[in-house]
């Protein structure tokens, strides 16, 4: 049975500032999405990568990936499918493109271009050892506050703190998240109709199914490129790797 990676790359990247869709922005002269595809294909276990493009952007993404072919032992088949309005919908459309012989699925944000292959392999190994869902995670540096709902608060009113969860019991989670394929399919089928922004990660949907989700150590370099400062950090990490 094969292991495949689904890369949702249909987000606009509004928080990064104006410009091209986030996945297509350059990092060290190469589009972020190309780094993310290489990071998945770098694992010898991954033989297929499904990239989920913006809804009207599949031909452009296909052309971009053809311009940056995988080489050497990073060889894997790369499919491109059009995505949806939310991350959750984009992942569901990517899962629908997987062939029947795929038993293990990784879901990896295009916005985490620098995840090291050892992290990818650790996630795959834990799924193959029997965990239905596996998430790379790190302890938090910041203390986190819970805030009250904004509904009813006037514009410009300060937010009110309603609680402080114990930091030692919190983890920041990253991708790739790894899944037994049937478990993830079932979660996406069950929660497809939910309203709003959708799930911000896939393991959360598996938790709602009642299946166990296990953690493996995350990696600092698997950080998500979200805001402009993250681009500065990503360029510095790349420069250090190339030195």
Binding residues for ligand C5P, per CB under 6 A? 8-11, 22-23, 52, 83-87, 90, 109-111, 200, 224, 226
Q: Which is nearer to ligand C5P, 55 or 103 (CB)?
A: 55
| CB of residue 190 to ligand C5P, shortest distance in Å | 20
Angstrom distance (rounded) from CA 122 to CA 127: 9
Q: How far is the CB of 104 from ligand C5P (least distance, A)?
A: 20
CB 90, CB 197: distance < 8 Å = no
Instruction: Give dist(CA 86, CA 3) in Å, integer.
Output: 24
Decide whether 47 or 226 has the Cβ nearer to ligand C5P: 226
Rounded Cα gap, residues 87 and 202, in angstroms: 9
- Shortest spacing between CB 53 and ligand C5P, in angstroms: 8
Residue that the structure tokens 């996945």 belong to: 23
State the CB neighbour count (10 A cutoff) for residue 194.
13
**Smaller CB separation from ligand C5P, 55 or 125:** 55
Token output for 34:
């190309």
Instruction: Indicate the residue among 132 and 198 with the shorter CB distance to ligand C5P.
Output: 198
Interatomic CA distance for residues 167 and 180, integer angstroms: 30
Output the smallest distance, CB 36 to ligand C5P, in A: 8
With respect to ligand C5P, which residue has the nearer C-beta, 17 or 212? Answer: 17
Nearest to 25 by CA among 111, 84, 92: 111
Shortest gap between Cβ of 92 and ligand C5P (angstroms)? 10
Distance in angstroms (rounded) separating the CA atoms of residues 97 and 90: 11
């Amino acid at each position: 049975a094969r292991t495949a990676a689904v890369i949702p790359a249909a987000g606009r990247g509004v928080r990064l500032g104006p410009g091209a869709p986030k996945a297509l922005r350059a990092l060290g002269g190469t589009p972020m999405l190309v780094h993310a595809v290489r990071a998945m294909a770098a694992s010898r276990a991954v033989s297929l990568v499904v990239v989920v493009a913006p809804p009207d952007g599949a031909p452009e993404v296909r052309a971009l990936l053809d311009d940056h072919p995988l080489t050497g032992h990073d060889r894997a088949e790369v499919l491109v499918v059009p995505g949806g309005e939310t991350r959750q919908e984009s992942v569901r459309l990517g899962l629908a493109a997987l062939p029947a012989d795929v038993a293990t699925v990784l879901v990896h944000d295009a916005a985490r271009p620098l995840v090291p292959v050892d992290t990818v392999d650790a996630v795959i190994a834990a799924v193959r050892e029997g965990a239905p869902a596996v998430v790379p995670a790190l302890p938090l540096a910041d203390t986190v506050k819970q805030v009250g709902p904004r509904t009813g608060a006037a514009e410009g009113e300060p937010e009110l703190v309603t609680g402080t969860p114990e930091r030692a019991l919190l983890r920041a989670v990253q991708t790739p998240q790894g899944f037994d394929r049937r478990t993830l399919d079932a979660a996406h089928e069950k929660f497809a109709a939910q309203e709003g922004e959708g799930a911000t990660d896939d393991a959360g949907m598996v938790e709602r199914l009642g299946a166990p989700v296990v953690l493996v150590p995350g990696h600092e370099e698997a950080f998500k490129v979200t805001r402009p400062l993250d681009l500065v950090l990503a360029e510095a990490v790349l420069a250090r790797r190339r030195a």
